[in-house]
Amino acid sequence: MSVPVKILPLGRPGSAPVFASRIAAIVCVAISIGIFYGCIFQPRWKAKQAQQWNKVPATVGESTVLADGRSATLRIAYTYQIDGRNYASRNYDFSPAVQSYNFDVAVTKLYPAGMTTTCFVNPQNPNESVLSPETHQGLGELLIECFAIVGYVAIAWACNRAAGKAKLARSTFGNIILELDDMPTLPGGALTGTIRMGHHLPCPIQGELTCFCFKGLERRRGKYQRALRTGELWKNTVQVSITSGNSLPVSVSLPTEGMALTETAPGETLFWRLRVVLKSQVANTLVCFDVPVLKSTMANRG
């Protein structure tokens, strides 16, 4: 008489949504920091530096606003001399965002064509200059700041929500293990056993069991095993349900021996996994088990 073999899940139950939300949070934070740095912090820091640049007489050669009915663009150009050499620039200020039409018109009135004024020139690079060493906050910068604030709030909310769902799932289902009837399992047969939950649930439980096989590269992170997939070979999904209790029957047919004998490249490993999705009226959870399936029935002979 065979003794059921207990298999622990890969990672903690409910940890996948938390991990995914954390990755999304890191990406969103990185994007927000990049936008904030490039569109707000760097221009203001550059403007503060430019206030210490050399003041040089300049002549405005062009000052106009190009409008096509949908948008307006400020076009301003000026020339200046340093050590007898002529330079030209179109930099008015360090504002990264497009300003309003009224703002652009005001600039053309402040610096009309033919006017002699003062520009600020970088002493380390005479080609770099600006007329107004400031940043003028427009609608674009306000939208960027609002985006950053809303993004941070959304990230915090998503992380807390995912962590709350994971905590609820662990408190609802308890520790989840897989008990296999046979160990190891042979190709062409069936993966049979029972999903055991740590807590008894008085409500109906719906389960989706997916057994799949894939080629991949094995990675270990602490005590957990991870696999980098290089190609999925086969999968089979079955639906199971119980009205109440803490155990769910497992019976998933496996592919024939020919499928299991698929060749792998050097360094690759054949992985067999059982993904279990449990749904109840209280909470949902997802766990994954590494199941032992022989590559061939010949491995059990002799």
User: Domain-by-domain residue ranges, the chain?
Assistant: 5-14+171-300, 52-132
pLDDT in tens, 144-175: 667 667 766 777 777 777 777 778 888 888 88
Return the H-helix or E-strand segment holding 12: none
Per-residue buried b or exposed e for 125-158, using 16+ beta carbons within 10 Å of the residue's own CB: ebebbbbbbbbbeeeebeebeeebeebeeebeeb
**φ, ψ at 98 (rounded to 5°):** -70, 130
- CA dist., res. 42 & res. 142, Å (int): 16
> In 71-156, at which residue ranges do the beta strands (DSSP E only) sit?
72-82, 85-89, 116-122, 125-130
Who's near 116: CB < 8 A, 6+ residues apart? 57, 58, 59, 60
Who's near 240: CB < 8 A, 6+ residues apart? 206, 207, 209, 248, 249, 250
pLDDT of residue 58: 95
**DSSP code of 293?**
B
Segments in the chain below pLDDT 50: 1, 297-302
Written as six digits, the tokens of 104 are 């652009």
- CA dist., res. 112 & res. 96, Å (int): 23
Q: Is the peptide bond before 9 cis (omega within 30 degrees of 0)?
A: no
Cα angle 23, 164, 225; round to 5:
50
Contact predicate 64/101, CB 8 Å:
no
User: What's the CATH fold of domain 5-14+171-300?
Assistant: Immunoglobulin-like (2.60.40)
Per-residue buried b or exposed e for 71-97, using 16+ beta carbons within 10 Å of the residue's own CB: ebebebbbebeeeeeebebebbbbbbb
- CA dist., res. 268 & res. 228, Å (int): 10
The closest alpha carbon to 13, from 138, 242, 203, 197, belongs to 197
